[in-house]
Amino acid sequence: MNSAAATTPPLPCRLLVADQVAGSVHLLSLPDGRTTARLDGRHLAEHAGFLALPGDRTAFVDDRAGELVVLAPFADEPVESTTAVAVPAEHLAADPSGRRLAVSTGLGRNWEAWSDLLTVVDLAAAGGPSAVRVRTRVGEPGVTVLGTDDPHVVLRHREPGTLTAYRHTELMAAPPACPPVEPYAALPLPGDGHGDAQDPLHQRLFAATGEGVHRARVAPDGGLIAEEPLDWSGPGRGYYLRLDPVRRTLWSCVRGGPPEPEAWPEWTNHAWWHHLDTGRTGRLDLGPGLVFRLAVAARRVAYARVHPDGDELILLDATNPAVTARIPLPAMDGAPKPGGTPWDGVQRRAIAASPGGPLVAVTRGGHGEVHLVDTDRPDHHEILTVPTPLNEGGHLTLVTRDDDAHHDPVGR
C-alpha cells in the first residue's frame, strides 16, 4: 500500500473484488485492505454484476455454477444462500423489498442470442429460497422488478424493442420444465435499448435508448403506462443508467463521436443526470476515450476514463454536478489500443462506491490491483492488491453499513 492512507469512513466497509476469469471473489475490509474472506471457484456474471439487497447484503450470479449467490459481507460466514438459476446471466434485479428477484439470460460467450430463459426467485419462500425458470423471448433482455405486494417483472427487449410485463407470483406458480409464458402487458420501445433503472418510490422504470430515456409506470389496474421520454440534452446516447438513491438522481454517460469501435479514442463522453423529483436535467464533458460504468459515493459520483494519453478517475459533485477532481490512474499492460476495439482481448477497469461513504475503488485490469480513493481527500489514496490478476478488469462492489444502496434494486 502507499504510505498515504485514506481517511477512515464513518461506518465499516467491505469491498468485494470479483475475478470472474480466475474464478474467485475476495472480501476486503476497508480502509485497511485486510482480506476477511475469499470464495474460490466462483465466476461472477460480469454483465449482471452485483445487486445490493437490504440488510447490508449483496447478490451475484455464478455463471459457471448456475447459481444465485447471496452474501452477507459482514458475517463470519459470508455465503448466506445459493439458488439454481439459468445462465448465462444477462441482468439481475430485485423488488424494493429485496425478497423477489429476476435473472434474465443473454449471449454469454456466443455471437448470437440463443436463450429465452428467465429465472424468478423468492428468497423468503417456505422452506428456503426457491426459483422457477420460464421461457420468454430469445435476446439480451434487461430486467426490473416493480412493486412489493405483487411485483411486476418487466423485461426490456431489443430488435424489436418492447417492454413486456409479468407478475412475479404467477411466474413462481409456473409448472416445471421451463414452460413458455405470455406477458399480461406490453409497450413498444426503440430496438436499441441498453441500460435499465427504476424508481422504487413510484414504481417507474427507465430504459436507455438512442432516442433518449424511455419511461413507464405501473397503472392502478396493474398495466403499464408509457410516459414522455427524457432526451440526452445533446448529441450521443447513454448505454448505462444508474440511480443515486440518496439524491434520487438518474446518472448515465452519453457517448458520441464516430460509431466505429476502432475509433474509441475519439469517442466523446458526457456525464448526464436527471433529478427524479425536480425534473432538472444536465450534462458535463468528461473527455474523449472509453467511459462506461459509474459509481455513486456519499457526496460524489465517479467515472473511470480510459484513453491512450492516460487514464483517470473523474469525480463530480453529486448534488450540484460539476467536476471536482481528475485523478490520474496507473497505465494497464494490455490496455486498449487505437485501431482495435476497447473490449476484445484487452484489459479494462471496474469501479465501485457506496452512497454511505466517501471511498471509490477502481481496478487496474491484469495487475491484481485496486486503486482506492477518498473522495473527501482526493489527493490521498492507496493501492490494494489481490492474488489474482483481475483480467478483463474484474468487478467490484462496495458495501457500507446502512448505506441504502438497495434502493437502487438493479444489478451493477
Q: H or E stretch including 172?
A: helix 168-172
CA atoms within 13 A of residue 252's CA, in its CB half-sphere: 30
Q: Please report which confidence band the pLDDT of residue 5 belongs to, taking 50, 70 and 90 as the band edges.
A: very low
Per-residue confidence (pLDDT) for residue 271, from 0 to 100: 98
CB atoms within 10 A of CB 251: 24
pLDDT tens digits for range 185-216: 999 999 999 999 999 999 999 999 999 999 99
Q: Please report which confidence band the pLDDT of residue 223 belongs to, taking 50, 70 and 90 as the band edges.
A: confident
Q: In order of start, what are the domains of the chain with their CATH numbers?
A: 13-407 (2.130.10.10)
Per-residue confidence (pLDDT) for residue 380, from 0 to 100: 85
pLDDT at 365 exceeding the cut of 90: yes
Q: Please report which confidence band the pLDDT of residue 356 belongs to, taking 50, 70 and 90 as the band edges.
A: very high
> Using CA atoms, how far apart are residues 351 and 311, in angstroms rounded to an integer?
13
Q: Give residue for cell 430496438.
A: 191
Query: In the structure grid, which three cell numbers stand for residue 219, read together?
Result: 397503472
Mean pLDDT over each residue of the chain, to the nearest integer: 95
CB atoms within 10 A of CB 170: 14
Query: In the structure grid, which three cell numbers stand for residue 265, read together?
Result: 479514442
Query: In the structure grid, which three cell numbers stand for residue 251, read together?
Result: 446518472
Per-residue confidence (pLDDT) for residue 249, from 0 to 100: 98
Per-residue confidence (pLDDT) for residue 11, from 0 to 100: 67
> Using CA atoms, how far apart are residues 163 and 383, in angstroms rounded to an integer?
43
Amino acid, res. 195: G
pLDDT at 2 exceeding the cut of 50: no
| 182, 167 contact by CB (below 8 A) | no
Pick the more confident residue, 7 or 50. Answer: 50
**pTM of structure:** 0.96
Pick the more confident residue, 220 or 274. Answer: 274
Q: Please report which confidence band the pLDDT of residue 401 belongs to, taking 50, 70 and 90 as the band edges.
A: very high
Per-residue confidence (pLDDT) for residue 12, from 0 to 100: 87
pLDDT tens digits for range 109-155: 899 989 999 999 999 999 999 999 999 999 999 999 999 989 999 99
Q: CB-based contacts of 47: which residues, under 8 Å, 6+ apart?
A: 89, 90, 91, 106
| C-alpha distances out from residue 95 to 200, 325, 407, Å | 8, 35, 9
Q: CB-based contacts of 243: which residues, under 8 Å, 6+ apart?
A: 197, 198, 199, 249, 250, 251, 407, 408, 410
pLDDT at 4 exceeding the cut of 50: no
Per-residue confidence (pLDDT) for residue 120, from 0 to 100: 98
Q: Please report which confidence band the pLDDT of residue 3 belongs to, taking 50, 70 and 90 as the band edges.
A: very low
Q: Give residue for cell 494519453.
A: 309
Q: Please report which confidence band the pLDDT of residue 104 belongs to, taking 50, 70 and 90 as the band edges.
A: very high
Query: In the structure grid, which three cell numbers stand for residue 140, read together?
Result: 439480451
> Using CA atoms, how far apart are residues 365 and 300, in angstroms rounded to an integer?
23
Q: Please report which confidence band the pLDDT of residue 7 belongs to, taking 50, 70 and 90 as the band edges.
A: very low
